[in-house]
């Protein structure tokens, strides 16, 4: 019986650590990356984590959307590829805006898909440089921080 209670306490402590880790702080922004290319997700994730961002990566936009539904108050920014199977980045962005209009969105694409960008998401054309990515993120992070004040 003591072991069972002990395991419950470990579980509750573990969940608290996860929730503490998800929160937005003045020096950290929470970013969700969505791209059907796993290598690109991992590359962006590594770069952003080295720059003190909390990052979650997904190769399936539907799973990413479910994660955002359940954690929208902890997500500040979504970076998504435009062309993906099942749900493109623009449609994903529209669904995210229905969940939480304060989540910022960056669309990344090989194609010039800006004509469909009526929600005025930030748009980065591939091939993308790290400097361009970081500059766009930092611009949106300033907007996020100003909204929180």
Phi, psi of 63 (to 5 degrees): -70, -40
Query: Does 111 or 74 have the greater pLDDT score?
Result: 74
SS3 41: helix
Fold of 2-148: Rossmann fold (3.40.50)
Structural domain boundaries of the chain? 2-148
Is residue 146 scored above 50 in pLDDT?
A: yes
Sole residue written with tokens 């003045």: 26
Cis amide bond preceding 127, omega within 30: yes
Q: Which residues pair with 107 in a beta bridge?
A: 80, 123
How many Cα atoms are found within 13 Å in the side-chain-facing hemisphere of 121? 31
DSSP conformational letter for 66: H
DSSP conformational letter for 59: S
Is residue 120 scored above 80 in pLDDT?
A: no
Tell me the residue length of the chain.
149
pLDDT grade, residue 7 (50/70/90)?
A: very low
**Averaged pLDDT of the chain:** 80
Is residue 55 scored above 70 in pLDDT?
A: yes
State which H helix or E strand residue 125 sits in. strand 122-125
Cα–Cα distance between 14 and 88 in angstroms, integer? 34
Is residue 66 scored above 90 in pLDDT?
A: yes
């Amino acid at each position: 019986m003591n072991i069972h209670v002990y395991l419950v306490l470990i579980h509750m402590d573990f969940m608290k650590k996860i929730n503490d880790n998800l929160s937005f702080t003045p020096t950290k922004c929470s970013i969700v990356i969505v791209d059907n290319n796993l290598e690109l997700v991992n590359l962006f994730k590594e770069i952003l984590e080295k720059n003190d961002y909390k990052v979650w990566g997904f190769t399936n936009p539907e799973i990413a959307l479910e994660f955002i539904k359940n954690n929208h108050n902890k997500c500040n920014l979504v970076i998504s590829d435009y062309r993906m199977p099942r749900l493109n980045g623009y449609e994903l962005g529209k669904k995210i805006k229905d969940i939480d209009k304060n989540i910022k969105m960056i669309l990344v694409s090989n194609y010039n898909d800006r004509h469909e960008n009526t929600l005025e998401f930030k748009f980065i054309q591939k091939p993308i440089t790290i400097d361009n990515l970081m500059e766009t993120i930092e611009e949106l992070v300033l907007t996020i921080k100003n909204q929180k004040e």
